[in-house]
Structure 1
Amino acid sequence: MIRLFKHYVPYAVLFLALVDLCLLIAAAETAWVIRANQIGMQVDYIGNRFWPLITFAASVQLAAVSVGVYSQESLQSLRFAIARLIVAVSLGVIFMAIMAFAMPGMTLWRSNSLYAMGLAFGYLALSRLILGRLIGGESFKRRLLVLGAGKRAQRIKDLEARAGSGFMVVGFIAMDEAKRIIPEAINRSAIYNLADFVVRLGASEVVLALEERRNALPLQDLLRIKTTGVHVNDISSFLERETGRVDLDSVNPSWLIFSDGFSSGRRLSGIAKRLFDVVASAILVALTFPIILLFALLVKLESRGSAFYRQQRVGRYGVPFNVIKLRSMRQDAEAEGKAIWAAQDDPRITRIGWFIRKFRIDELPQTWCVLKGEMSFVGPRPERPEFVADLEQQLPYFAERHMVKPGITGWAQINYPYGASIDDSRQKLEYDLYYAKNYTPFLDLLILLQTARVILWPDGVR
């Protein structure tokens, strides 16, 4: 994987994205030439239409990121990829048509767009048909040697077996026979020179997966491996990179303290984030006010009670604030006054409530909280104080998620379906900690783009 702005991107995804960019520019140029020949127009220097070609390619590629064209499912299934490509190309052309009104002369002619759309889909689909085996094969996989043969090493083995894994394990070394559960592991005593063994296997990375590190670190081995040019990693950093979350089963306070990350307080990125929140929320409040008003009326007509509801949530640094949403449940949803987790097919949700939850319309009034500075567009979802008190007792590091401002959408929301249990909260916490640890404006942009996928294909909405 390559690390871009503190976020890990698989080499296969980066390679495919660069190929797609070139193919999209080629599709736009081919479409322009075809249309020019049809109307008897002379085909001049390609640099004279640089911006129309770039805007087309950028529009479609951003749409591709948004709808999951570069997800593991798309990389593994041609049928899945084709379906997402159709949506991506369509959305990209729609976005470009909107841009034509704001920036005339910067986009392709409307007569070019239809040709470009068809060619783009054809080129991208063909590239996946040709490159599919290469991308899913061993060419882009890292060769991994694992020091350890216990439960932690087994987790790496299970991760390798998943579809789309970006690495292959070339060997397990049993450092402690008493805790071995991987039968094919080689005992450390059977290897005379571990550094030489790593080089002969062609391993590009060694992962330390010991069950107990106290007084058990093979420092001499690790030093010699490191000096051969092979990357040495501990299991916590490895799992963070491979899964996109902070693994609570393997981390400890010292790793969180000394590892890279938790720099969201940097002044420049903080100012940029707040500026974006103010401008975007002001625009959204103005644009979505008629939609909010319409559904507020529908909510009011369907069931008794207020169309909106306020609920106290825990914000940054644990400071409480009131969030405002369109009401999607009956007025007596918590008649006993006790906070209740939402459930799958919750009977308290009204018919209009089901619709506005499915398409996230109930979240629109929260843009006012963003404008006021109590929330951000991107961040961990704010929880109710009643749940927070319980979760902080049961989940380690839960309080650390409050070190960043809560958001309407977030890394957990685009990677994990809606959950309403302690186990679900643990899974979401691992994603929230990854976001808090690795926050950059680039990660915010990635989350905002991929939120479109969650809206278009809403899984697990409650």
Structure 2
Amino acid sequence: MFSVSYIRFRKHYLHIPYLVLAGLEFGVLFGIFSLLTVFLAMVGIDHAPMHTDMVAAFLFAITLSCGTLAMGGYLAMAKETLSLLLFRTLIAYCFVGGIGLTLVYGVLPQADPGSANLFWAVLLASMVIILMRLIFLRVVDSEQLVRRVVVFGAGDFAASLLDEYQRNMRKLGIRIIGCIPENAHSSVSGDLLLPAPYDFYQFCKENKVSEIVVAQQERRRTEGGWLPVPDLMECKLRGIAVTNGVDFYERELKKAKLDMVHPSWIVFSEGFKASKSRNFAKRFVDLALSLALLVVMFPFIILTALAVFLETGRPILYSQKRVGMLGKEFRIYKFRSMRQDAEKDGKARWASANDNRVTRVGAFIRNTRLDELPQIYNVIKGEMSIVGPRPERPEFVSELKEKIPFYDTRHYVKPGLMGWAQLKYPYGASVEDAKGKLEYDLYYSKNHSLLMDFLIMIQTVEVVLLGKGVR
């Protein structure tokens, strides 16, 4: 029975089992490449000196590990079928990793083992890693290692938590054994309801519970409700974690459950901190990356502009007003992906699935995110960041602020080219979608750091390659 299976590093929650898996995979990749060089030496094939072999093995392992991270391999595998696991691993190693290794060997040709040898190394690594991941999922999901959780509360919040558990948390090494109702009202099915125990600690001990999640409709005493503070204190003091619902969501799903957020959570929680040093570092990284990106992507910028012009003529660029940091409006720039008369009546509209206003070239540049390249100018100008919540149109912001609580909190962080919500939530085209994305934007606003920005940047590779969240 384990009560802790995560660490918090630079304000971002990292699950220990997946850190262990990443370390094991790195070791296996390093070992496979090292064994390959030994084998080449045994059969008399020339290879680099040993110190170079070690460097080459490290570069091979770190590049393929980054390919796995870029394709969301560590976070998505818990919810995937075997076929999807195979597909994601092969894309991560053979395509993303292959491109990465090509770039590495272009800079360090002495580390290149040769195309034939590299092929066998990648193939062997793919088979071993897939087998390792299947074993890992069985071990982490075993009753010996799983964290058993009980929910205190059986209202709408608890029902929502159970729904998320069934869809997203069931294979994260968590078992929710049931809910203890706080009053007569219940939104949870009867088979998941547990009678209120006379002795909470003894109940947890007998049922091997390692965590109690408090998911009441209200924190204070309500009509017919109760909160067993002395019992919860005893449990916590005797080693059983006691967590409120919003913190449980934040830790396990990397989002803030909006229905459970109170103003006091924003005021008193650790996070939502701005500092001059953090802002300076982020601005420095934004300028360095945006200038580098401009140089690398310049040929694609020219080709995209030419394609848009040849299909539908001018204008090549399209600009819109967006709401930036602290509510300040600015103009965002994109390559035009819709017809010139997409909003001929001047009324702002949400984009819809298979929107008939999108041109053929527009569909391609949207899928590949090439239409976003002109926003590098917005980053250089300081209106946007490389990473941050996506800026929304003023017309939609006015509506969303009225309908969604705490919506304005996203405007206390500079908007970005890519964001946490874009990774975790599909394309938003309604008030309900905006609410779902805000839960991830709130998490980012609370916990953003350069480490988290790096993780978002590398995982955006999956979004671009698989065309996620495009309409």
- Percent identity reads 39
Please, which of 443, 449, 452 is the counterpart of residue 440 of structure 1? 449
Report the AA paired with residue 92 of structure 1: G
CA contact (8 A) 1:145 1:169 kept: yes
CA contact (8 A) 1:239 1:245 kept: yes
Report how far residue 394 of structure 1 moved.
0.9
Corresponding position of 1:250: 260
Corresponding position of 1:313: 322
Corresponding position of 2:175: 168
Q: How does 1:287-326 map to 2 (within 5 A)?
A: 287-326=296-335
Q: How does 1:266-345 map to 2 (within 5 A)?
A: 266-345=275-354
Corresponding position of 1:26: 31
Report how far residue 93 of structure 1 moved.
3.3
Deviations 1:312-367 (A, max 9, x none): 11111111111111001111111111111111111111111111111111001111
CA distance in 1, matches of 2:74, 2:163: 23
Local SS of the residue matching 2:190:
coil
CA contact (8 A) 1:376 1:405 kept: yes
5+ residue gaps, structure 1, are: none
CA contact (8 A) 2:422 2:469 kept: no
CA distance in 2, matches of 1:403, 1:226: 35
* TM-score with structure 2 setting the length: 0.91
> In structure 2, do the counterparts of structure 1 residues 139 and 54 end up closer, same or farther at CA, with 3 Å as the change threshold?
farther
Corresponding position of 2:214: 208
Local SS of the residue matching 1:70:
helix
Report how far residue 437 of structure 1 moved.
0.7
Corresponding position of 1:196: 202
CA distance in 1, matches of 2:38, 2:381: 50
CA distance in 2, matches of 1:244, 1:65: 16
Report how far residue 243 of structure 1 moved.
2.0
CA contact (8 A) 2:48 2:110 kept: no
RMSD over equivalenced CA pairs, Å? 2.2
CA distance in 2, matches of 1:120, 1:315: 45
CA contact (8 A) 1:382 1:407 kept: yes
- Matched length: 458
CA distance in 1, matches of 2:188, 2:130: 44
Corresponding position of 1:187: 195
Corresponding position of 1:138: 143
Say whether 1:84 aligns with 2:88. Answer: yes
Report the AA paired with residue 414 of structure 1: L
Report how far residue 160 of structure 1 moved.
3.0
Report the AA paired with residue 75 of structure 2: S
Report how far residue 109 of structure 1 moved.
5.4
Report how far residue 42 of structure 1 moved.
8.8
Corresponding position of 1:350: 359
Report how far residue 395 of structure 1 moved.
0.8
Report the AA paired with residue 60 of structure 1: L
Report the AA paired with residue 305 of structure 2: A
* TM-score with structure 1 setting the length: 0.93
Local SS of the residue matching 2:30:
helix
Moved more, 107-116 or 76-85: 107-116
CA distance in 2, matches of 1:117, 1:422: 45
Corresponding position of 1:415: 424
Local SS of the residue matching 1:177:
coil
CA distance in 2, matches of 1:460, 1:178: 38
CA contact (8 A) 1:64 1:85 kept: yes
Report how far residue 289 of structure 1 moved.
2.0
5+ residue gaps, structure 2, are: none
CA contact (8 A) 1:7 1:438 kept: yes
CA distance in 2, matches of 1:84, 1:26: 22
Report how far residue 443 of structure 1 moved.
1.1
CA distance in 1, matches of 2:282, 2:207: 46
Local SS of the residue matching 1:138:
coil
